A = this chain, B = another copy of it.
């Protein structure tokens, strides 16, 4: 059992890394003329192909109204279009333009490059150790959330 201050040190180091990672990714997206939210939408679209906006709302965990705003901005940038849904005239299929295709391919290359830069040098032993840590911490975080949700704070 680690002491509380040791645990807090670890948490703070993790949060520092999270901030660095976020800054790095945000800066990379900014160089491509994208905000985080718009890039996230494009990413989900890249995973799914043309989909109606409600699918993106669910994937991004935002309201349909917020999706409208993001898609409007991406249409204005020429990255996606709203195409008619073949069987549901209420819905629009958000679809990449050629420019959008090029950009999502770049995003995927950047994602690979970042992942490789960070993790390719890991040894098999390090990977095993880290994956164990990740599994343990994820499980503990889930348990912690269950506890705090059940016991309302004072």
**Partner-B contacts on A (CB < 8 A):** 1-2, 4, 6-8, 10-11, 13-14, 16-18, 20-21, 24, 27-28, 31-32, 106, 110-112, 114-122, 126-127, 129-134, 136-138, 140-145, 147-149, 152-154
Contacts and interface: CB of A to CB of B under 8 A. Distances in A.
Copies of the protein in its oligomer: 2
Contacts of A114: 11, 144
Contact of A148 (B17, B28, B122): B28
B11 A111 contact: yes
Contact of A115 (B8, B16, B116, B152): B8
A141 B28 contact: no
A91 to B, nearest CB: 28
Given A130-B129, A132-B126, A138-B17, A118 B32 contact: no
16 contacts: A2-B119, A4-B115, A7-B120, A14-B21, A20-B141, A20-B142, A24-B144, A24-B148, A27-B145, A117-B140, A117-B143, A118-B144, A126-B129, A126-B136, A129-B129, A133-B133
